[in-house]
Amino acid sequence: MGNKNVADIRRLLLAAYDAGKRSLPWREETDPYRIWVSEVMLQQTRVETVIPYYERWLERFPDIEALAEAQDDDVLRAWQGLGYYSRARRLHQGARIVKERYSGTLPRNSEGLRELPGVGQYTAGAVASIAFGEAVPALDGNVKRVFSRLFDLVDPTPADLQGLGQDLVDRERPGDFNQALMELGALTCLPRTPRCEECPLETQCLALARGTVGERPSTRPRKTIPEKDVDVLVASAEDGKGGFHFLLRKRPDKGLLAGMWEFPDVGLFPEEELGMDPTDPEPLPMPAVSHTFSHLKVRYRPRLLRGKLTATDLTPPTTTLHATRWVPLGGLDRLPLPVAQQKIAREAMRLLGV
């Protein structure tokens, strides 16, 4: 890549960005915390989905201090529906570290930012370039695709791509340049149908010149995701005063959906330990709910058990149930429930007529 190409790519890309960039709530933002939040939310989620979450999040946790002091459940609850919940937990841990170790101020370069949980090369590059003007690249999946076409690369290593990004990033406007590249990948250099005729880099693109756009990036066969069935017990009980309660369990602090709440697996404990008198001889089968995680597809098969509460302190008594709690209907809104569990709860309430 010659100096002229580099200069042309920077100029063309920034001119197109200035002329037609999307107006997004985090654009023109200078507060590093807000940029950090937007970048973490955008990691695996589409822009349109992120916008309302981003705005609500900042109302709830307007600065690092507010996030650092928040309760785990409140943080997960604000993230509820965005998926990949480890991002929320790491952001929360990161805010606590920034508060304790850095007196509430984010480290001002990519190297320092990478010390924070959940901040990898991409996020560090994006925050450092946008918030602090550091000339470092920020390569998301879209930008990697643009590079493999722009430079007609067959099988680039992450180090190759990072090196190209470092050479290319505009020294004066690194944040805008990185956002311009991401925008190009998201809107123009699309995976299946790139819009080369509208592309500001049309004259620079090697794959276009060589007729190899359709082969870049070279595709590897998709891995099939394993599937798993989970039998779920939706235990619901009246408390004798007209109130309804659901039995919910908090997931462990590590692993999939850590710290979120859910209806427990049927096999987790014996029915006689629930603290309720069932009114049905057998739990009622409910429609299955499927959810695909990044590495696993789960089909939840819920069954509804109705009854009356016998427990007085609403804490099931055995150690197997230590993370399990009877939650009144009105309390469901205050607990972080994954999307599939919300669907199960809604269907159960419909069947119960509550």
Q: How many angstroms separate the CA atoms of 299 and 308, rounded?
A: 28
The DSSP code sequence of 32-65 is HHHHHHHHHHHTSS-HHHHHHHHHHHHHHS-SHH
Q: How many angstroms separate the CA atoms of 123 and 104, rounded?
A: 19
Gap between the terminal Cα atoms of the chain: 66
The answer to whether the beta carbons of residues 253 and 324 sit under 8 Å apart is no
* Residue from 12, 14, 213, 314 binding ligand SF4 (CB under 6 A): 213
Q: How far is the CB of 146 from ligand SF4 (least distance, A)?
A: 5
Which x/- pattern, by CB under 6 A, does the window 243-272 give for ligand SF4? ------------------------------
Q: How many angstroms separate the CA atoms of 257 and 60, rounded?
A: 22
The answer to whether the beta carbons of residues 262 and 303 sit under 8 Å apart is no
Judged by CB under 6 A, the stretch of 10-18, 45-53, 99-107, 142-150 that binds ligand SF4 is 142-150
Nearer to ligand SF4, 192 or 241 (CB): 192
The answer to whether the beta carbons of residues 249 and 268 sit under 8 Å apart is yes
Interface with ligand SF4, residue 174, by CB under 6 A: no
Interface with ligand SF4, residue 146, by CB under 6 A: yes
Q: How far is the CB of 210 from ligand SF4 (least distance, A)?
A: 11
Interface with ligand SF4, residue 150, by CB under 6 A: yes
Residue 39 falls in the annotated catalytic set: yes
Which x/- pattern, by CB under 6 A, does the window 181-210 give for ligand SF4? -------xx----xxx--x-xx--x-xx--
Q: Catalytic residues, which ones? A: 39
Binding positions for ligand SF4, rule: CB under 6 A:
146, 149-150, 188-189, 194-196, 199, 201-202, 205, 207-208, 213
